[in-house]
Amino acid sequence: MIKLSEKSRKILRAIYRGIGASALSLSLTACPPVFWGGMYGPGPDPGPDDENLTIRGYVRSNENNKPPIKGIAIVIPGVTNYISESYIHGEFYLYVPKLDNYTIIFTDVDKENNGGLFKQHIHELTLEEALKLNDDPLIIELEKDTD
């Protein structure tokens, strides 16, 4: 058996996380979100050092009845190696390493297909705020783009 250095183990863990997150992202787009977390389990293993966390929330319009918006691309530059997308009821889930701060970008990529064109939104989140999202999900309200 080969003994790996701590640095090598961290690199391999990062590669496995990237492969796992990409595969999960692809598989979840095919699964109805209503089943996510039940039939398909709680998601990827957080790792031996509890280095990761889930940022979860909802994207909706800021109009009067606040309808959910599906098809919004969600990315954390320099952190996520994939683009997540909000599901039919506006839900989203991001699996990320624990960091002090996160800059999350919400972009309307399917334009008119999700109830209109929405402006891009950038949301800043601290680690403390991200840790509270298990109990109270993040709610992002997007403005319609009237240009």
- What residue type is assigned to position 82 of the chain? Y
pLDDT score of 71 = 87
pLDDT score of 147 = 67
Residue 17: CB atoms within 10 A of its CB come to 20
Count CA within 13 A, CB hemisphere, residue 27: 12
pLDDT score of 1 = 52
Residues in the chain: 147
- Helix, strand, or coil (residue 15): helix
End-to-end CA distance of the chain: 62
- Among 99, 60, 59, 58, CA closest to 76: 99
pLDDT score of 37 = 39
- Among 47, 49, 50, 72, CA closest to 59: 72
Using DSSP bridges, classify how beta strands 138-142 and 52-61 pair: parallel, antiparallel or unpaired: parallel
pLDDT score of 105 = 94
pLDDT score of 128 = 92
In the chain, which stretches have pLDDT less than 50? 24, 27-44, 46, 48-49
